[in-house]
Amino acid sequence: MAFNESMSQTAASQPRKCGRFYLQELINSGGMAEIWVATDQDGTTYALKLMHKKFRFDFTARKRFVRGCDILSKIHNHDYVIGYIEHGKLDGTLYLLMEYVEASNLKLLFARQDPILLENVANILIDSAVALEHVHDSGYMHLDFKPENILVTRNGSVRLVDFDLALPKPDKPVKVSKNPGTPAYMSPQQLKREAFDARADIFSFGVMAYELLTYEKPFDGNNAEEILRKQLSGDLVPMLELNPDIPPALEKIVSKCLQVDPDKRYPYMSVVVRDLQQALYL
C-alpha cells in the first residue's frame, strides 16, 4: 500500500495496539477507511486498512468494504495488483490486511511532478493497463480506476489498489442503484446514471493516461454536472497540443478510450494493452 509522505507527520509517536497488530504509522486516510503501516508480534510489516468507526452501523458501507476485500482475495495473485493477506474484524472494526509496498500513488506523483513519472511513463501506462485487463479477465469491473488507486514504487513498479466499488462484470450493460466514484474519472454513462459495462473502466483508463501524459485532466470541472457537460461537448484539447513529444499512435489510443459512445471505445482492455505495447515498442 502507498506510503503517503503527507500523512507520516500525523502518525502516533508510539505504536498503538489493534488486535494482534501494532499501528506504526498512518499512511492514508480516505472517505471510508484509513490505512496504517502495521507490524505483528514477529515484526513483519503490512498495510492494514481499517474502516472508519463512523460506518460501524452503516450496513451499505460495510457491505461495500467486505465485497472489496472478497474481490481482492480472488484476484490479487498478479504482479500489478496489491497483495491480499486476510480480512475480518479487529476489536469490532472491519479490516483488510495487505502487502506493504514502499510506494506513492500517482496523484501524489502528479502533484509534485515527480521525475519517476517521466522515467517510467511507458511502463506505468502498460502495467496499469495490464492490471485492469487482469481485473476484467477475472470477471470484475474496478469502477474506481484513478491515479490515487495506482501505486508506483521508486523503481517504477505498479500496484492497483482499492476494490471497494468493484462489481462483477456483466454480459451486457447494466444500471446500478448507487453511483459512487470520482466524477473526473467516471464515464458519461455512469454520470448520466445509464447502463454501463467494463468499458467504463476503459474510459477511466483514458482519463488517467491523458493526465499522466499532459498533467491536465481531459474533462475538468467543479462537480459531476460540469464534467459531464465537458465530456458531451466533444471539446477535448488534443494531447499533442499539450505535449508535442507524445507519439501520435499513443494519442490515438487514449482518444479512443475517451470516446463518449462506449461502442466507439475499445471493446476490451486486452486490445488496449496490445496497442500500447505496439505504440511504445515494449
DSSP string, 125-168: HHHHHHHHHHHHHTTEE-S--SGGGEEEETT--EEE---TT-EE
User: At a CB cut-off of 8 Å and minimum separation 6, what does 115 contact?
Assistant: none
| Alpha carbon distance 83, 72 (integer Å) | 8
The burial of 282, by beta-carbon neighbours within 10 Å (0-12 exposed, 13-18 middle, 19 or more buried), is given as: exposed
Phi, psi of 150 (to 5 degrees): -120, 115
CA dist., res. 218 & res. 80, Å (int): 25
Measure Cα distances from 101 to 7, 110, 160, 161, 195 in Å.
16, 19, 11, 11, 36
**DSSP 8-state secondary structure symbol assigned to residue 48:** E
Residue 221: CB partners within 8 Å, gap ≥ 6?
183, 184, 227, 229, 230
Question: For cell 482499492, what's the residue?
Answer: 162
| Measured distance CA(87)–CA(95) in Å, rounded | 6
Per the annotation, the verdict on 42 as an active-site residue is no
* Distance from C-alpha of 63 to C-alpha of 60, rounded to nearest angstrom: 5
For the residues of 176-202, what is the DSSP string, one character each?
-S---S-GGGS-HHHHTT--B-THHHH
Pick the catalytic residue from 70, 114, 137, 144: 144
Strand ranges of the sheet holding 103-105, from the earlier edge strand across to the other edge = 103-105, 150-153, 158-160
Q: What positions carry a catalytic annotation?
A: 144
